[in-house]
Structures are given as structure tokens and as C-alpha cells.
Structure 1
């Protein structure tokens, strides 16, 4: 399992990266144009660049020739791939992440972890999960626990391909360890840098434990096409 993350510099304007619009197909350009907020345009374009450049390198295809289909809930899939290859994207304030695997369907979520959103817990967490968050020793630990649950819930919803059409109160997740599993999924949660948390979830297909390789990608190198992605094959 490969996990790549990109930190977007504060204050970056979409006009500074619009040369990379060449990687988008007509539908993606239309989506890009519909965003009214500049940082949403940036996150969308950086996400597509990251996914297409990584997948293109693995498949020996030009990134601009990589195309996606999506299911009824909006989850992206690689179209016309000659090899089994799975990926998932996520973004939050000034960070974009992408997970890739040759073996397992997965979901990934990234969240900025500075805001106190404890008031939503009763809408997304079951009683045992709420009790665990509230039992933490101080506010920082409580925030960490809150976002561990949040990223794991959302990653599961993305792994099954339903997003929030799968109600977060309809399932529970393990929450103590950074690496964990239940009867269906492996969970890996980590902090790539202060103020952010990432969780990747893969289906539990065997008793063999997952191996995770995490790499930061510099935005300038990504946009210039100079990133050497690790081979999955």
C-alpha cells in the first residue's frame, strides 16, 4: 500500500498552477470551473495531478491519458486498466492525499485536526465511541481521538464506495491502536505533520498484515512532473 501526501502552500492561487489543467478531461475541466472558491479548485487539480501522475507511471501511460469512471456515489475508478490497480483520493484544508494498491480496494481520508467539533459526535459516533473520546486526559488527546474516529469512519464509507450514503451510525470501528483491524477491514491512522491526520482502510482479505509506505510529495516537483513514484509491481 502506497500513501502519498502533498501539502499545499498557504496563499497559493489557482492561476499559479493552471498550466496543469492539461491533465484534465472535458468533464474534469467542467467540474474544476464550477468551483467558486479558489482553494477548492486547487485541491481538485492537485488531486487529479497526483493520482494521474502516479497511475500513469505505474502503467507506463501519459498522465493526460489516464481517465476515470465513477459509481453512483461518486467514487472514482481507473477506466480501462490493463492491470488490477486501486486508488483513492482525499483532501482537506491545504492537503491532498492519495492511496494506491495493486491488491486491495481501499478508502482514505485526511482531516485538519485543529477545530473542536465535538458537538457532532452524537450524529456520527455510537455511545462506546463517544465514551472513548470523552475519556481522554486533555483537549489535545480528545481532539486526536475525535479525528481518529472521524477519519476511520469516512475511510470505511469510501472503501465500500458509498460515502455518506452509508450512515456513520450504522457501523462501529476499532479505535485504540494506530494499526487495527476488525472482521472486515484493516485500519492505519497516522499524523503526517502537525495539525493533520490520515487514515487508510483496506478490506480484510487474509490474515497477512498490511505493509504501508508513506511519502511526502513536494507540490513544485509534482507540478513539474519530476516525482519518481514507487512501483507497485
Structure 2
């Protein structure tokens, strides 16, 4: 299997809620705006179902944290499908899900506004990455920031570390070149070789990336919902 990516815009569709289990519905209800959560988790269920032939309502997901071992947070896994690796990401307006058998996967989507804050460089970038953004401004700067941020988030989701690892310790390639992890500076162990790819989600105000723990080149198949 290649890495299969599916994207969709966040909408209010009662059919999505019907796909979720009781735990997911409870988590959705705790949110001031439940629609991004519902859209994303329904998207993931439909994608896994289409790739495996299983009823989306029958799927069980569990979370495992690579850092502390708890099942209360961490990256999702499909119960009973050890060879299927999944990831999901969403914001206020878009959601993206990934499924593959290649290895642990992480996917992330960012809107340009999420990268529009003072101190982005000090929070996110290694010193070697800062010159790549030095001559940019306006939307071009925000797009470059969002792409770099999406790559780093995808990598940290694939490893399972999340933001336990400082993003500035994850050094990635320049925004206008092929996506790659150049250096892992964190004290935490990098689980294995990493392949990274940028994703075209069909909306100019968003940037996305996927990362997989594998030595194999990534073949990415994108489906737009």
C-alpha cells in the first residue's frame, strides 16, 4: 500500500456523527465547536473502511503515547489491525487523514493564519533554518512557515513524540525544496528512518505534510472529499 491521504472541508453533517463511537461523541460534545473533530474522525473512519473493507462503525481505535505509555492521549491505532497505520489532523476549516502499511505515519494540516505570530522562529526553527525565510514577507512568509510547521508536526506524530520534542530540534529542508528530515537533534530516540512528503490539499490557504517511518520511497495517493 502507498500512503493514502484523504482531505475534506469541515462541515456540519449529521451523518458524520453517526459514524463515531460513544467515546468520540463524548469528546466532541466537550468542544465549543464540535464540527472539526467530528468531520476529522468520520473522515478517518471512512478512509480506513474503504482501504480495508470493514464497516466504518465497527472500527475501534486506541491511543498510545510513545513517551509515557498512557492510553489517554497519543497517536491513534486501529484495534486488531497491527499492519494498518493511521493519522489524522484538522483545523477550523479542513481535515486530513492518512492510512498506510509502510510504517508509523503522521499527517498534519495547517492554515496560513496559524503561522502568523511573533516569535515563530524562536519557537519553531533551528538556527540553520532561519535564513530560508529571511527574504520572505506577507503571504509568502506565512505559507513557508505553515509548510515547515506541517512537516515538523507530521514527523513528530509519526515518531509518537508529539510536542514533547521541541520542534526546533527537528530540522527539515527548505520550504521551497523537496520535504525531508535533515537532522534530529532531540535527546529522545528517533525510532527509525523517516520519509517526508508535502501534500497538495487543493486550498491555497492551507499547507500539509505526511511523514512515515520507513526506508521506502513514499508513493502518496491523495483523495479530495
- TM-score, structure 2 normalization: 0.82
Q: Which residue of the other structure, out of 2, 27, 31, is the alignment partner of 1:31?
A: 27
**Greater helix fraction, Structure 1 or Structure 2:** 1
1:99 aligned residue: 98
2:110 aligned residue: 111
User: In angstroms, what is the RMSD of aligned CA positions?
Assistant: 2.0
Q: How many residues align?
A: 204
- Residue 194, structure 1, aligned to residue 204, structure 2: yes
2:213 aligned residue: 203
Q: Which residue of the other structure, out of 30, 50, 58, is the alignment partner of 1:57?
A: 50
For 1:20 and 1:139, locate their aligned partners in 2 and report how far apart those are by CA, in whole Å. 36
| CA positional deviation for 1:118 | 4.5
Q: Secondary structure at the match of 2:44?
A: helix
- List runs of 5+ in structure 2 lacking aligned partners: 66-72, 184-192
Q: Secondary structure at the match of 2:154?
A: helix
- Matches for 1:155-174 after TM superposition, within 5 Å: 155-174=154-173
Q: Secondary structure at the match of 2:171?
A: coil
Instruction: Give 1 or 2 for the bigger CA radius of gyration.
Output: 1
Q: Secondary structure at the match of 2:121?
A: helix
- List runs of 5+ in structure 1 lacking aligned partners: 218-233
Residue deviations 1:187-225 (CA, integer Å, cap 9, x gap)? 21134211011111112424xx221111111xxxxxxxx
Shift in CA distance, 190/55, structure 1 to aligned 2, threshold 3 Å: closer
- TM-score, structure 1 normalization: 0.80
| CA positional deviation for 1:134 | 1.6
Q: Secondary structure at the match of 1:4?
A: strand
Moved runs in structure 1, 4+ residues, more than 4 A? none
Q: Secondary structure at the match of 2:142?
A: helix
- Matches for 1:212-231 after TM superposition, within 5 Å: 212-217=220-225
